[in-house]
């Protein structure tokens, strides 16, 4: 009887041990499965933007912005949206944009820098935002001569009487920055028929009075005219700060002084061209 009892106790002990051992194995497997699942979770990687566009351009010029080389490491790119800072936007890998000169354009603030914003969204909803700067220049600056001044706006029709071989100065209120460019000037003269004018000299000066360009124009021996346009052309290597010009008309007066004409349909002016 005692032997049977001991045998039953032994069997029960073995079953308890097996149950405990099996329970432990299952628990360990569950823990391993849990760790495996957690380690397999990978965060979404945002798209990588690659933008191709000019660093600088002119107002009124068509500029292409190209983001077609952008890529997404763990998916695909769903959309490209471009913002231009004026409440307008465009969609697409490649877009064209024309920037118009603002109505309140200020020569002293030139060149203007525009920041074009690109938003790229991938198929998992991740978004990358980047800004692409573009430096914008005017194609030309036109400045008009008036009594002692250079003006951005064309003055009313008037004139100055000057003596031949005397310097006449025309200044900007504030100097402006000039990049490498060419320039041409048109000076309209009015004189008595018998006053002999043989040529003229135009000199451009920087902010500290330094000479930045000088051109001479020979009119010739024939001087039997009363009204004439004298043309000048030159080049500025830039960048420089431009402040003023000085004009000298060379000749031999036989009668009164000559007039330099301002404003009207034939304004005396200087034009800087940055497209050459």
**pLDDT tens sequence across 164-214:** 888 999 999 989 989 899 999 999 999 988 888 889 999 999 999 999 999
Selection from 187, 149, 146, 163 nearest residue 250 by Cα: 163
Which three-class secondary structure string do you get for the chain?
Answer: CHHHHHHHHHHHHHHHHHHHHHHHHHHHHHHHHHHHHHHCCCCCCCCECCCECCCEEECCCEEEEECCCCECCCCCEEEEEEECCCCCEEECCEEEEECCCCCCCCHHHCCEEEEEEEEEEECCCCEEEEEEEEEEECCEEEEEEECCEEECCCCCCEEEEECCCCEEEEEEEEEEEECCEEEEEEEEEECCCCCEEEEEEEEEEECCCCEEEEEEEECCCCCCCCEEEEEEEEEECCCEEEEEEEEEEEEECCCCCEEEEECCCCCCEEEEECCC
pLDDT of 271 above 90? yes
Whether 215 and 232 have beta carbons less than 8 Å apart is answered as yes
pLDDT of 246 above 70? yes
Selection from 173, 188, 105, 116 nearest residue 140 by Cα: 105
- C-alpha dihedral (15, 21, 27, 32), degrees to nearest 10: -150
pLDDT at 255: 58
pLDDT at 24: 39
- Greater confidence, 120 or 238? 120
pLDDT tens per residue, range 93-123: 999 999 998 888 787 777 899 999 999 999 9
Q: Average pLDDT over the chain, rounded to whole? A: 84
Whether 133 and 227 have beta carbons less than 8 Å apart is answered as no
Whether 120 and 128 have beta carbons less than 8 Å apart is answered as yes
Q: What is the mean pLDDT of residues 224-233?
A: 93
pLDDT at 251: 87
pLDDT tens per residue, range 4-59: 444 444 444 434 333 333 333 333 333 323 333 343 445 789 999 999 999 999 99
pLDDT at 107: 78
Region of 37 (left: φ > 0; alpha: ψ -120 to 50; beta: rest) is: alpha
* Model pTM score: 0.72
Cα separation, 150 vs 243, in Å, equals 9
pLDDT band at 132 (very low <50, low <70, confident <90, very high): very high
Whether 189 and 249 have beta carbons less than 8 Å apart is answered as yes
What domains appear along the chain, each with residue ranges and CATH number? 56-137 (2.60.40.10), 140-273 (2.60.120.260)
pLDDT at 21: 38
């Amino acid at each position: 009887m005692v032997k049977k009892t001991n045998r039953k106790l032994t069997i029960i002990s073995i079953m308890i041990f097996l149950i405990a051992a099996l329970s432990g194995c299952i628990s360990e497997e569950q823990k391993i499965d849990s760790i495996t699942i957690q380690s397999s979770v990978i965060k979404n990687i945002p798209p990588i933007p690659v933008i191709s566009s000019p660093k600088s351009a002119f107002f009124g010029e068509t500029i292409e912005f190209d983001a077609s080389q952008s890529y997404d490491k763990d998916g695909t790119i769903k959309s490209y949206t471009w913002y231009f800072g004026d409440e307008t936007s465009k969609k697409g890998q490649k877009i064209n944009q024309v920037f118009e000169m603002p109505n309140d354009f200020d020569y002293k603030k030139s060149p203007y820098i525009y920041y074009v914003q690109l938003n790229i969204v991938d198929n998992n909803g991740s978004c990358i935002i980047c800004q692409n700067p573009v430096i914008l220049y005017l194609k030309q600056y036109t400045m008009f001569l008036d009594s002692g001044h250079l003006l951005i706006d064309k003055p009313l029709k008037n004139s100055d009487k000057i003596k031949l071989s005397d310097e006449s100065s025309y200044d900007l209120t504030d100097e402006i920055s000039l990049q490498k460019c060419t320039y041409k000037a048109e000076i309209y003269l009015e004189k008595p028929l018998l006053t002999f004018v043989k040529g003229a000299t135009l000199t451009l000066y920087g902010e500290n009075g330094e000479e930045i360009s000088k051109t001479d124009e020979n009119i010739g021996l024939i001087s039997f005219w009363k009204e004439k346009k004298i043309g000048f052309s030159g080049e500025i290597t830039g960048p420089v700060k431009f402040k003023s010009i000085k004009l000298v008309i060379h000749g031999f007066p036989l009668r009164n002084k000559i007039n330099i004409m301002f404003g009207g349909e034939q304004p005396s002016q200087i034009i800087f061209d940055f497209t050459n």
